[in-house]
Amino acid sequence: MENFLGLPLNASANGAEIDRVLILVHWLIFVLFIGWSIFLVVVLIRFRKKKNPKASYAGVRNRTSIYVEIGIALFEVILLTGFSIPLWSKRVNDIPKEQNATVVHIVAEQFSWNIHYPGPDGKFGRTDVHLVSDDNPLGLDRNDPNAKDDITTMNDLHLPVNKPALIYLSSKDVVHSLSIPVMRIKQDAIPGQVIPVWFVPTVANNDSMPTYDIACAQLCGLGHYRMRGYLTVQSQRDFDEWIKEQEASLAQSQ
Amino acid sequence: MENHETQISKPKSRLIFLSTDHKTIGILYGFTGLLFLLLGFSIMMLMRWQLAFPGQPIPFIGSWFGQDRAPGGIMLPEFYNQLGAMHGTIMVFLGVVPIVVGAFGNYLVPLQIGAPDMAFPKLNLMSYWLYVLGGLCALSSFFMPGGAAQSGWTSYPPLADIATTGQTFWLIAIIFLALSSMLNSINIITTIVQLRAKGMTFMRLPFFVWAQFITGFLLLLAFPALEAASVLQLMDRLAGTSFFLPSGLVVSGQPLSVSGGGSPLLWQHLFWFLAHPEVYVLILPAMGIVAEILANNTRKPLWGYRSMVYATIFLGFMSFIVWAHHMFLTGMGTIISGFFQATTMIISIPSVVILLALLISLWGGSIRFTTPMLFALAFLPMFGIGGLTGLPLGLTISDIPLHDTYYVIGHFHYIVAPGTVFAIFGGIYYWFPKLTGRKMNDVLGRIHFAGSLVFMNGVFFPMFILGLAGVSRRLWDGGAQYQFAQHVLHWHEFMSISAWLLAVFQIPFIVNLFWSIRKGKKVRENYWDATTLEWAASSPPPHGNFFPLPEVYRSPYEYSVPGYAEDFLPQNQFFGEGLKIKEKG
């Protein structure tokens, strides 16, 4: 009964409140729908022609429907002002400070996710569309001192557990949408705009589930269906280890 | 008007395709629209094969589509996207709207208000032919290099801006269709304002006419936004402008050589400024049809007629200020999203008012389960599901996991498929005797109803399950790539089989329709013992409809009036002063 909606695993700190709203709204839906259905069935049996050959000209004379309408309106006001608006405000306004978060740039393209870490210096290097090439899909300017230690991966996002992740999301070509169902986040990636999106992963991956899926939610062309990325949530130590490996292979390639 | 009275005496034009009679045009709209509905449905059945059995060759007909669409019978992702975009476009712009407004509106509005024809008969014919032109334009795009439009029926740029030639044809088609709808809406509004019969006050209009009236304003005021947007996108594609293209785009590894500086979101705003009112264009006339059928088959007046009318007016107004709830995830702040959430919650109230009024209208009735009534009754809970599932989508916070998933598809299909399409079926069974003087077969009608109800739910209900599990829409393989989707993928097969069986149950309808035109049982003019004016005309009504024009004495649904012998009292029936006193009491 706890998960009667069949929601996916929740692996983030912000997911529970979203699930709570989903469940609340669906309870309202069930109650209303079942109420209406019972009314409909009763009416159809009780007022069928055989049972009730003469219709009543006036019909219902009470004002029950007004109370139902007011009830629904009140419930909606509560959902809106008590849950949706404050929780949304938390999503878009209470963005964690960069020094407390894992900051990542994600640039979507047909049909993959370019993931860009600032490296140990914590500074993102300059990018330029004219530098874009097959082995440099972000157009990262390696001559920029800030870019020297920048790590880029394709479709491979690693995050430390229990630390806020702050993603600056944009797109190179068309509108995409970053969807990570287990983190309860989804955000359109719009070319020409950089949009912050954040969450706190709370459940690290393990052997039975080595990665979480990243999906594209906005039609972006013929490869939309296979625009799949992988999120690995790991302990801070494992994450630092992974960063070190990436730095080493970067040094090797230069 | 004067022009009309001279025309009426003339013999009817032999060329029905050039007739300016609103009934002929309505029937043309109806048949064309039904053809498109069937086509859109067939397209969906093809897609459902690919979703149920991803990457397997389409049986029997796989070789029809050629190497560049389905090599070896296996549907390419490009082709899947074309089918997806065209399914939406065809169903909305070429199927449902032309049927509910072009066919039902055209045929019934003048009859129900006691007018000889539409206010502008030639404009009416022109709007039909613009619709046909738009339809042909959309269909021909399938044969363009690169195939038809494939950026979804929403055509979001930059994807649509850089798509193949089919998109250009899509835009031209939309421009024709927008023009056609605007002409049609001007005609309907003018007809209702100007040509009501003597005594037909606004509060005596059948609810269907009110629904068409508000729908007319929605079409008239919303379509210009999409028409303008389509011209802008056309310029982006053909004239090198960048209305919707920002600077610094890199497509397939190459910087795009455009001036840039545009905004992809501008298109989304303009598109949804049309497309949200468009949703109400799809549903309001359907509610009107259901209201007519319910009143007639309960043998009592609609409950809360006035509140329904006011709710419809309010709904029409509100539908212009909710559009951005389709764009909650484009990076919207708290205040703007708060505004659009609030308007979205507010607009749900008049919808609830109308639905409850229809439900309560049943109370105290003497309900006849005729074939049209079955469809009208099924409309109520089915539309209920569609409306209620809009709630979590209208709240930003619960929209996050559900946005752009199958949940959305389930939600709006419940509104337009077992909602509007059921109303269309009900309306066809209900007014068929007026159109032909014959009735449709009830046994076939009941088979059609039962099968459609079961399998529509079989197609659409599992979509909620997939959506809640997080499966994105518009995926060529239905989500087979994703780990989190694995445990719900088997529903695709279930939905596809339901869709194909749904098609099987449309056969009795098609047979019934054509068979009954020639062989259906002959029935009298007012077959349903109805009160509204269309039943005062002969079946089918002659050119000019009424001789002489009727006069209206009372509200539209005077069924089971106390003190009157029969259980229906037509609007045009003169019945002494005594009744008026009773009416007040």
A156-160 and A165-171 as β-strands: parallel, antiparallel, unpaired? unpaired
Nearest to B392 among A25, A109, A129 (CB): A25
A185-189 and A176-180 as β-strands: parallel, antiparallel, unpaired? antiparallel
ipTM, two decimals, is 0.96
Region class of A252: left (phi > 0), else alpha (psi between -120 and 50), else beta? alpha
Is the pLDDT assigned to residue B576 strictly greater than 90? no
CATH of residue A125: 2.60.40.420
- The token pair at A25 is 């709204």
Is B353 in Cβ contact with A37 (below 8 Å)? no
Question: Does some domain include residue A45?
Answer: yes
Question: Does some domain include residue A132?
Answer: yes
Taking contacts as CB-CB distances below 8 angstroms, the residues of chain A near B472 are 179, 215-217
Is A29 in Cβ contact with B562 (below 8 Å)? no
Instruction: Tell me how close the Cα of A171 comes to any Cα of chain B, in angstroms.
Output: 8
The set of long-range contacts for B96-99, using a CB threshold of 8 Å and a minimum separation of 24, is: B96/B33, B96/B37, B96/B282, B96/B416, B96/B420, B96/B421, B96/B424, B97/B181, B97/B278, B97/B281, B97/B282, B98/B29, B98/B32, B98/B33, B98/B36, B98/B131, B99/B29, B99/B30, B99/B33, B99/B34, B99/B37, B99/B424
Nearest to A215 among B76, B342, B482 (CB): B482
What local confidence, expressed as pLDDT, does residue B577 receive? Answer: 52
Q: Which domain holds residue A178?
A: 98-253
Q: Do A51 and A165 fall into the same domain?
A: no
B454: Cβ contacts below 8 Å, ≥ 6 apart: none
Is B152 in Cβ contact with A213 (below 8 Å)? no
Q: Do A105 and A68 fall into the same domain?
A: no
Q: Output DSSP code: residue B555.
A: -
Taking contacts as CB-CB distances below 8 angstroms, the residues of chain A near B362 are 40, 43-44, 47
| B174-196 average pLDDT score | 97
Question: Does some domain include residue B254?
Answer: no
Identify the residue among A31, A76, A193 best suited for mutation to test binding to B, counting B beta carbons within 10 A and taking the highest. A76
DSSP of B507-531: HHHHHHHHHHHHHSEE--TTTT---
Q: Do A215 and A142 fall into the same domain?
A: yes
Taking contacts as CB-CB distances below 8 angstroms, the residues of chain B near A106 are none
Taking contacts as CB-CB distances below 8 angstroms, the residues of chain B near A215 are 470, 472, 482
Is B470 in Cβ contact with A179 (below 8 Å)? yes
Is B357 in Cβ contact with A192 (below 8 Å)? no
What local confidence, expressed as pLDDT, does residue A191 receive? Answer: 96
Residues 27-46 of A with CB under 8 A from B: 28-29, 32-33, 36-37, 39-40, 43-44
Question: Does some domain include residue A227?
Answer: yes
What local confidence, expressed as pLDDT, does residue B316 receive? Answer: 96
Q: Do A32 and A50 fall into the same domain?
A: yes
What local confidence, expressed as pLDDT, does residue B373 receive? Answer: 98
Q: B70-93, pLDDT tens digit by residue?
A: 999 999 999 999 999 999 999 999
What integer best gives the mean pLDDT of chain B?
94
Q: B320-366, pLDDT tens digit by residue?
A: 999 999 999 999 999 999 999 999 999 999 999 999 999 999 999 99
A121 φ/ψ angles, rounded to the nearest 5 degrees: -75, -10
Domain count, chain B: 1
Q: Do A142 and A227 fall into the same domain?
A: yes
Q: Do A135 and A53 fall into the same domain?
A: no
Q: Do A51 and A175 fall into the same domain?
A: no
Is B359 in Cβ contact with A39 (below 8 Å)? yes
What local confidence, expressed as pLDDT, does residue A1 receive? Answer: 54
Question: Does some domain include residue A5?
Answer: no
Residue type, A164: P
Taking contacts as CB-CB distances below 8 angstroms, the residues of chain B near A225 are 77, 475-477, 479, 481
Q: Do A85 and A104 fall into the same domain?
A: no
Is the pLDDT assigned to residue B13 strictly greater than 70? no
Question: Does some domain include residue B564?
Answer: yes
Q: How confident is the model at residue B15 (pLDDT cuts 50, 70, 90)?
A: confident
Question: Does some domain include residue A116?
Answer: yes
Instruction: Determine contact, residues B300/A52, Cβ cutoff 8 Å.
Output: no
Asked if A189 is an interface residue toward chain B (Cβ–Cβ < 8 A), one would say: no
Q: Do A59 and A125 fall into the same domain?
A: no
Identify the residue among B290, B398, B405 best suited for mutation to test binding to A, counting A beta carbons within 10 A and taking the highest. B398
- The domain boundary residue, chosen from A45, A67, A93: A93
Residues 234-253 of A with CB under 8 A from B: none
Question: Does some domain include residue A10?
Answer: no
Domain count, chain A: 2
Question: Does some domain include residue B88?
Answer: yes
Asked if B301 is an interface residue toward chain A (Cβ–Cβ < 8 A), one would say: yes
As a whole number of angstroms, the distance between CA B569 and CA B557 comes to 8
Token pair 């949940």 in the structure block, residue: B407
Is B477 in Cβ contact with A88 (below 8 Å)? no
Nearest residue on chain A to B153, judged by CA atoms? A219
As a whole number of angstroms, the distance between CA B445 and CA B372 comes to 9
Asked if B400 is an interface residue toward chain A (Cβ–Cβ < 8 A), one would say: yes
Is B331 in Cβ contact with A187 (below 8 Å)? yes
Q: Do A109 and A81 fall into the same domain?
A: no
Question: Does some domain include residue B60?
Answer: yes
Taking contacts as CB-CB distances below 8 angstroms, the residues of chain B near A52 are 364-367
Instruction: Tell me how close the Cα of B220 comes to any Cα of chain A, in angstroms.
Output: 30
Identify the residue among B236, B294, B472 best suited for mutation to test binding to A, counting A beta carbons within 10 A and taking the highest. B472
Identify the residue among A9, A12, A138, A218 best suited for mutation to test binding to B, counting B beta carbons within 10 A and taking the highest. A218
Is A93 in Cβ contact with B398 (below 8 Å)? no
Q: Do A23 and A86 fall into the same domain?
A: yes
Is A44 in Cβ contact with B362 (below 8 Å)? yes
Taking contacts as CB-CB distances below 8 angstroms, the residues of chain A near B396 are 84-85, 88
Is A219 in Cβ contact with B474 (below 8 Å)? yes
Is A222 in Cβ contact with B77 (below 8 Å)? yes
What percent of chain B stands above pLDDT 90? 93
Is A224 in Cβ contact with B77 (below 8 Å)? yes
What local confidence, expressed as pLDDT, does residue A254 receive? Answer: 74
- The token pair at A213 is 């899926």
Task: Tally Cβ neighbours within 10 Å of residue B524.
Answer: 10
Is the pLDDT assigned to residue B147 strictly greater than 60? yes
Q: Do A72 and A127 fall into the same domain?
A: no
Instruction: Tell me how close the Cα of B148 comes to any Cα of chain A, in angstroms.
Output: 13
Asked if A6 is an interface residue toward chain B (Cβ–Cβ < 8 A), one would say: yes
Question: Does some domain include residue B16?
Answer: no
Is A58 in Cβ contact with B364 (below 8 Å)? yes
Instruction: Tell me how close the Cα of A97 comes to any Cα of chain B, in angstroms.
Output: 18
Is A192 in Cβ contact with B247 (below 8 Å)? yes
Question: Does some domain include residue A31?
Answer: yes
Residue type, B409: I
Nearest to A76 among B152, B348, B483 (CB): B348
Is the pLDDT assigned to residue B581 strictly greater than 70? no
CATH of residue B116: 1.20.210.10
Task: Tally Cβ neighbours within 10 Å of residue B542.
Answer: 13
- The domain boundary residue, chosen from A63, A93, A123: A93
Token pair 């909710």 in the structure block, residue: B322
Q: Which domain holds residue B148?
A: 24-243+262-584
Asked if A16 is an interface residue toward chain B (Cβ–Cβ < 8 A), one would say: no
Is A69 in Cβ contact with B353 (below 8 Å)? yes
Question: Does some domain include residue B8?
Answer: no
What local confidence, expressed as pLDDT, does residue B574 receive? Answer: 86
Question: Does some domain include residue A199?
Answer: yes
Q: Measuring CA to CA, how many Å separate B333 from each of A195, B341, B575?
A: 11, 12, 61
Helix (H) or strand (E) holding A216: strand A212-216
- The domain boundary residue, chosen from A57, A74, A93: A93
Is B396 in Cβ contact with A221 (below 8 Å)? no
Ordered per-residue pLDDT tens for chain A, 254 residues: 568 899 999 999 999 999 999 999 999 999 999 999 999 999 999 999 999 999 999 989 888 889 999 999 999 999 999 999 999 999 999 999 999 999 999 999 999 999 999 999 999 999 999 999 998 999 999 999 999 999 999 999 999 999 999 999 999 999 999 999 999 999 999 999 999 999 999 999 999 999 999 999 999 999 999 999 999 999 999 999 999 999 999 988 87
Taking contacts as CB-CB distances below 8 angstroms, the residues of chain A near B366 are 47-49, 52-55
Is the pLDDT assigned to residue B9 strictly greater than 50? no
